[in-house]
């Protein structure tokens, strides 16, 4: 019987499926064991664990509107110590409101205490996104959730 091996590569994690005498085994960076994935199914492998503190949120005042409301500059930076992109960055944003329009593709309020950064798209390692808002008070912005986003994913069939 021919041995078929399928490799999935996502970041540094490699999954190989081996068929040996009719029994399929998976080998990953976690070890080798009986196959648990379905044949011919592309696996969605995360690029590793991402921590909330990989995303840094900094704010500072940059002036005032004619109404007297302070203008705040916000920068959100991916400071992952390895080459990882982070997507679906949600910030707790209290009752966020701004007297200035903010591009909703950069930052938008989804609901009570939930704001989305970069329209949910990955923020590359070392990249930053910024915006300004005006409010009578500086609002606390903190990362509430995020998702690791693999930089690349390939499916290779070797027969």
Is residue 143 within 8 Å of 79, Cβ to Cβ?
no
Task: Dig out the tokens for 4 from the structure.
Answer: 């078929």
| Torsion of Cα atoms, 67 then 129 then 97 then 71, to 10° | -20
Cα 42 from Cα 40, distance rounded (Å) = 7
How many other CB atoms sit within 10 Å of the CB of residue 17? 19
pLDDT tens per residue, the chain (159 residues)? 444 433 333 333 333 443 445 554 444 434 444 545 444 444 334 445 788 999 999 999 999 999 999 999 999 999 998 888 999 999 999 989 999 999 999 999 999 999 999 999 999 999 999 999 999 999 999 999 999 876 544 444 444
Is residue 13 within 8 Å of 20, Cβ to Cβ?
no
């Amino acid at each position: 019987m021919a041995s078929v091996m399928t490799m999935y590569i996502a970041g540094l994690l490699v999954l190989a499926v081996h068929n040996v005498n009719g029994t399929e085994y998976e080998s990953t960076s976690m070890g080798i064991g009986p196959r648990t994935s379905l044949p011919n199914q592309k696996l969605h492998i995360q690029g590793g664990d991402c921590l909330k503190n990989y995303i840094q949120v900094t704010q500072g005042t940059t002036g005032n509107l004619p109404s007297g409301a302070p203008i705040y500059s916000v920068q959100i930076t991916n400071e992952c110590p390895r080459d990882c992109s982070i997507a679906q960055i949600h910030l707790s944003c209290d009752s966020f409101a701004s007297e200035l329009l903010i591009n909703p593709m950069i930052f938008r309020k989804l609901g009570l205490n939930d704001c989305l950064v970069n329209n949910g798209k990955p923020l590359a390692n070392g990249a930053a996104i910024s915006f300004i808002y005006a409010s009578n008070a500086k609002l606390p912005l903190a990362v509430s959730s995020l998702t690791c986003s693999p930089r690349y994913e390939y499916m290779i069939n070797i027969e």
